[in-house]
Amino acid sequence: MNGEQKLASRSRKLRVGVSIFVRKGEQSVWENGIYQNCIFLVMLLLRSPLVEATYLVAGGGDGEPADAKNFLADSPVPLIDMNEAANTLDVMIEMSAQLDRDWVVAFRERGGKIVSMRVGNDYAIDIERMVFDKSHGLLISGAPYHEVWTLAEYESTCVPYFGSTFRAPVRVMPHLWSPLVLQREAARLPEGVKFGYRPGRRRWRVGIFEPNICMVKTGFIPLLACEAAHRANPDMLEHVWAYNTFHMKEHVGFNGFAHSLDIVRHGLTSFEGRFPFCRVVSADVDVVVSHHWENAQNYVYYEALYGGYPLVHNSHLIGSCGYRYHDFDCEEGGRALQTAYAEHDANFEAYQHNARTFLTQLDPENEANVRIYSNAIAALYEHA
């Protein structure tokens, strides 16, 4: 029997959990993309014909389910602890919180299936942390996973790395995104502040949102793209907000780099801390300029596209959306920013239509996505 036939012969459908890191104190779903990814995955699992019940599982941190009441207000499924998960679940998907090896072994021994879903560029992150003596990320614990799931953006850097370190088959899965969390955040904006691009401004305000904590997403190329555009047309930019850079302001190298730029010397650029995307673009940003290195699928891209904001980017995985430049070509990035400035308002309706068409492909409730994830779950039982 194949996996689907074996599942059909069971007396009930599957109970599936997704691990999420929960700590005591304040925690926000906007801290990093993986928390939203957990929510979108359980949204999909609720639609799977193979799944009876879906849970988020609190693990990794020092928090209990009660600590996540506000943090997970947008979750469509209940949160349970690791003990309940051990006695309840048929399939556990490790995502935000890495599972203890002994827990995994015991879970497998009673017939449970274990998947590790990797949604970060762990190769780059792990190497940087080891080389530069930073706090560890992924631990090679030797836990016996049935499969590793990851995303198309990591095919070249991480798929072989995962296969070798986890000693398990690696499967590339669709990236998931829904406007649900964004819409709820937008509904909480102060009176008079509205999420979404507004045409008609004579000079644009740029937002750069790369986190600057790892090489895969930094603000250097976006700053240089803005510099190139400003040199070509000094009347184009009103301000450049470089978010997530405050921690680098006193670094000698970064300071020297920044003060070499006209956009800094002419007083156009501010170096800021970390803020929720929805709040700052709604009040202060007209265009998002971004850059990635082997990290081509990002929620900031999707959020900008959903809001109709012009997105200047170098991603090959978001179709024909936005205004693309290639690789590390900051000069081409400057030209893409100039093109956006010249054309966006006139082509706004077509831009929105193209973006929404693309974003529907990411929907956790999209039939194709539900089928692919369901087939992957069924495959866990192929060789049972």
pLDDT at 60: 74
Closest residue by Cα to residue 20 from 44, 40, 4, 1: 40
User: Using CA atoms, how far apart are residues 106 and 120, in angstroms rounded to an integer?
Assistant: 27
pTM of the predicted structure, to 2 decimals: 0.94
Work out the pLDDT band at 8, boundaries 50, 70, 90. Answer: low
Strand stretches in 141-236, DSSP E: 147-151, 170-173, 204-208
Q: What mean pLDDT value characterizes the chain?
A: 93
Distances (CA, A) of 142 to 111, 128, 169, 252: 18, 21, 14, 41
- The continuous run of DSSP H or E covering 269 comes out as strand 269-271
- The continuous run of DSSP H or E covering 263 comes out as helix 262-265
pLDDT at 32: 74
pLDDT at 106: 97
Q: What is the mean pLDDT of residues 361-368?
A: 98
Q: Do 3-178+364-379 and 180-360 have matching folds?
A: yes
Work out the pLDDT band at 134, boundaries 50, 70, 90. Answer: confident
Q: What is the mean pLDDT of residues 311-328?
A: 98
pLDDT at 72: 80
For residues 321 and 21, the model is more confident at 321
H and E: helices and strands count for the chain: 15, 13
- Would you list the DSSP string of 115-167? EEE--S-HHHHHHHHHHTTPPP-S-------SEEEEEGGGTTTTHHHHHHHHT
CATH code 3.40.50 for 3-178+364-379:
yes
Pairing of strands 269-271, 287-289: unpaired
Domain parsing of the chain, residue ranges: 3-178+364-379, 180-360
Work out the pLDDT band at 363, boundaries 50, 70, 90. Answer: very high
Q: What is the mean pLDDT of residues 34-52?
A: 95
- Domain 180-360: which topology? Rossmann fold (3.40.50)
